[in-house]
Amino acid sequence: MKPPRHIAIIMDGNGRWAKERGLPRIKGHEKGAESLRAVVEGCAEVGVEFLTVYAFSTENWSRPKAEVSALMKLLELFIERETPELIEKGIRLQAIGRLTDLPESCQRALHKAIEATSGGTRLTLVLALSYSGRTEITDAVKSIVRDVQAGRIDSAMIDPELISRHLYTRVYPDPDLLIRTSGEMRLSNFLLWQLSYTEIVVTQKLWPDFGKDELREAIAEFHGRDRRFGAV
C-alpha cells in the first residue's frame, strides 16, 4: 500500500514535555529536533515524497525574547548539522513563510542548505518558518491583484487553481495527511488553504515522544480512511 504522498505535521508539545520533567523549555525543543530527525528518516524509508513541518509560526515571535533567540540558534544549528546527512540521504530542503523575518545568520544557513541539497530526489523536507496561513493567503491575493492591475491576467480568470499557484506552496501538492501531536484539536493557522481535503490524525503524544513507530501508526490510520473528496 502506497504511503501518503505529502505529510504535514504540527509539531506540538515541546514546552509541556520539558515542564513535565522540570527542564527549561529549550530542552524540549532540543529533544523535538531529535524527533524531527527520526520522522524525516521514517518518511524517506517508507516512500513519502513531501514532508512539511510547522517549525515556527508568525505568532511565535511574541514568545519571550530569550526563548525566541534560543529557538533561532537551535534552528541554525539544526540546519548546519543535518545538511550533510540530508545530502547523503537524497533529501531536499525547502522553506516557506516570511523568511526575511528570520535573523540574517539563519537566512544564510537556510539558503546555503537549500542550495546544497537541491539535487535530492528521495524526499522534500519543507520547513514552515515565520509562517501564517492567513498571511500566505493575503500575500496570494496581493500578488493576484498586482497581476490584474498589470494586465497579466483578467479578473475573470481567478479560480481556486490560480489562487493555489500564488501560494508559497505552489510547487508542492496539497498534503494527504496532517499529523498533530499533543492532543490539541486545532489547525493553528497552518496551511489553511491546502488542508481542505487532508486527512487529520491527532495523537496525544507530545512531539519529543513522537518517532518512527508513531509515524507508521499515523500512516496506518490514514490507510483506513475512505477519502471521498466531497463525493458519495
Which residues are part of the catalytic machinery?
Answer: 12, 60
Residue entry with cell 508513531: 214
* Measured distance CA(6)–CA(15) in Å, rounded: 27
In angstroms, the CA 195 to CA 64 distance is 30
Residues 6 or more apart in contact with residue 196 via CB below 8 angstroms:
174
Query: Helix 25-46 to helix 65-88 angle, to the nearest 10 degrees?
Result: 30
